[in-house]
Structure 1
């Protein structure tokens, strides 16, 4: 199957594969703070993913490219990123490296957002030369290297050989002139993987957990012999964030992608240790079904929801939000006890009030 057709299949089946109304985020809650001593108008949503400073913790995460029809999707996403100051990543650029004719479907992002923060994207099988070309193609500020082992295994034409991935990542990081981020595409990260990447010098990680776009379901829809038993494979985003705890404050920053439905989910992810949150499927549905102005209104609504939650918690900044007490219950807590997470420590963290905020 041609890559362009595969890209269109991914878009179609992603739109057909609806996110669940009930979510693992429902296992995460906060003790109420009836005396937050804070002013909504002073809430600061800026965050840091060293060396990048972001105006908003919301990132439009990697989705598409590589087919003529995806050009308009990426154009719309780039305009939203530009108008609301959001960082953005393009989808895997391997299609354009193999067929220059589709490179415009990625380059449109930089054309529409000439000064914004943009990440290029390739899989861990990529060479240094391919990584260089992907960055140059869109004048990217950084590179995402995505990990998608289960998706490849379920993909009819997917890869089956995953040897040397960590070596490739290390070599690209050493030789690329821009920062490198490693991201999971939706199956989550365990502490064992996180530790390997951090030891290799990767300081930006997107834990990309189960709960958003389910690429196991997407690939099963493309296969005449689907393997539905793998559709719940991996860690949720919340579980993956809890796996990052040993490396907090050690010059590593974490992004939470997967199942972010609204601003409150984003706040929960940050309280569990994320510095930013990635949104993909929900904003893809928006640009495919709504006019641009409505898409911009939804981003404004997500920001408003975040400010409401942060005000109610007495957290004026992302850094303060990462220190508020958070309650972890349900299936997330059950798995947490097996993995040795300090659930009581999260519940008993001290929240900080800001006088005269």
Structure 2
């Protein structure tokens, strides 16, 4: 039954990706173009620091699948793509492995095909400490993801209906974990209050996992007889809104996933404060519709294009994007107003505005 559900999730996710509406809230975030801000491309490095570890890029393959023969093969191909492009990769939820250790190979393949890469194990918030340790051990994982998916669970016909124990269980796992812990939403967003709580619980990274990408409420509703939960498909905050909501929250790294459609969305998310950006649906659809090499080519193209964007913006590293000027408009600006966020300040962040004298020490006559 669990294997069937995993296959259902992939099928519905790919189908939704193929018919996805193009717009999301990242379109309400625009870089102010300063025509003399550019630098030389060879000055740009894509390296970032996440959870105290150096990642070669701010892009990672986010949690997708595992638990059946078909999804094991998908994981194998994803791992090859991650290995060949040097980007981190997360497993899908390993709950199926806890119920049936015989399917361990459908997850273990992520490490077998990518022996020297950054690999993240993934469990739900009901996992025991021993299960979390087992997941990390199986993948020799560099970090542990705990996914939060209450909305998905209530729509899922066979899903959980009890979530009150999650906070205490997260604290137990964090206290016992030998690797950094990342807590992520699965498409409904993390609020400022939630991220602050996660920081106090000792979580190292919060992946805001906002609305705009794979919609698990819609996927689970498609699996329901009668599809009677359509009203909840727009639940939650977008990734752009989540990042803005977390402005000023320190002591925890912020990652962004959910609706990252392009290198420009990656740059927008990084400029809004994310240390790294996770992609799942776009990469899954590319792999299933084409092949591993096509996915490798896409990832390499995205990284090259991200480098180009940083070059034009004058950002030597992804972290430097937080000093670029942004215009926030539309529904995102409304969200900021209602949540007490000064969106206008984002338009005046760069020290030099339209010229480079602040970087090069050039003296000009005004």
Fold match by TM threshold 0.5: yes
Question: Which position in structure 2 is the counterpart of 1:183?
Answer: 184
CA distance in structure 2 between the partners assigned to 1:9 and 1:299 by the alignment: 25
SS at match of 2:203: coil
User: Could you say what secondary structure the match of 2:248 adopts?
Assistant: helix
What's the secondary structure of 1:69's corresponding residue?
A: helix
Measured in 1, the distance between the counterparts of 2:211 and 2:62 equals: 15
Q: 2:263 corresponds to which residue? A: 263
Q: Deviations over 1:171-190 (max 9, x none)?
A: 11111111111000000111
1:3 aligned residue: 2
Contact 2:81 2:293 in 1 (8 A): no
Native 8 Å contact 1:327 1:347 kept in 2: yes
Counterpart residue number, 1:219: 220
CA deviation vs aligned residue, 1:16-38 (integer Å, no higher than 9, x gap): 11332112111000111100241
Residue in 2 aligned with 1:122?
123
Q: CA deviation at 1:225?
A: 3.2
SS of equivalent residue, structure 1 residue 72: helix
CA–CA distance in structure 1, aligned partners of residues 125 and 345 of structure 2: 35
Q: Tell me if the contact between 1:270 and 1:322 (Cα under 8 Å) persists in the aligned partners.
A: yes
| Cα distance in 1 for residues equivalent to 2:268 and 2:174 | 31
The DSSP-based 3-state class of the residue aligned with 1:246 is: coil
- How far did 1:243 drift? 1.2
1:238 matches 2:240? yes
> Counterpart of 1:235 in 2: which secondary structure?
coil
Secondary structure in 2 aligned to 1:56?
coil
Q: Is the Cα–Cα contact under 8 Å of residues 262 and 305 in structure 1 kept in the other structure?
A: no
Partner of 2:83: 82
- In the alignment, which of 215, 231, 239 is matched to residue 229 of structure 1? 231
Unpaired runs of 5+ in structure 2? Answer: 362-366
* Number of residues of Structure 1 aligned to a counterpart in Structure 2: 353
Deviation at 1:198, TM superposition (A): 1.0
**2-structure distance, mates of 1:37, 1:202:** 37
- The CA deviation string for residues 188-208 of structure 1, in whole angstroms up to 9 with x for no partner, is 111111111111111211000
Q: 1:314·1:351 contact (CA, 8 Å) conserved in 2?
A: no
The C-alpha deviation readout for 1:47-101, integer Å capped at 9, x for no partner, is 0113111001001000000011111100111011111110110001110111011
Partners of 2:82 and 2:261 in 1: CA distance: 18
The secondary structure found in structure 2 opposite 1:53 is strand
Cα offset, 1:159, TM superposition: 0.3
CA RMSD in angstroms, aligned pairs only: 1.2
Instruction: Give ranges in structure 1 of 5+ residues lacking alignment.
Output: none
Match of 1:324 in 2: 324
Name the structure 2 match of 1:294.
294
Q: Which stretch shows the higher mean deviation, 162-171 or 304-313?
A: 304-313
What is the CA deviation profile of residues 149-175 of structure 1, one whole-angstrom value per residue up to 9, with x for unaligned ones?
Answer: 100000000000001211111111111
2:252 alignment counterpart: 252
Give the drift of 1:43: 1.1
SS state of the match for residue 113, structure 1? coil
Counterpart of 1:13?
Answer: 12
**Do the aligned partners of 2:38 and 2:313 also contact (CA within 8 Å) in 1?**
no
* CA distance in 1: counterparts of 2:155 and 2:221, whole angstroms: 7
1:245 is paired with a residue whose SS is: coil
Contact map agreement 1:184 1:206 (CA 8 A) in 2: yes
Q: The residue matched to 1:163 in structure 2 has which SS?
A: coil
Q: Residues 343 and 285 (structure 1 numbering): CA distance in 2 closer, same or farther, change over 3 Å?
A: same
Aligned residue number for residue 23 of structure 1: 24
Instruction: Give me the whole-angstrom Cα distance separating, in 1, the residues matched to 2:113 and 2:169.
Output: 31
1:196 is paired with a residue whose SS is helix
User: How many angstroms apart in 1 are the aligned matches of 2:3 and 2:73?
Assistant: 14
Conserved? CA contact 2:78–2:292, under 8 Å:
no
Moved over 3 A (4+): 351-356
Counterparts of 1:1-357 in structure 2, within 5 Å, are 2-18=1-17, 19-226=20-227, 227-247=229-249, 250-351=250-351, 353=356, 354-355=359-360
Contact 2:180 2:204 in 1 (8 A): no
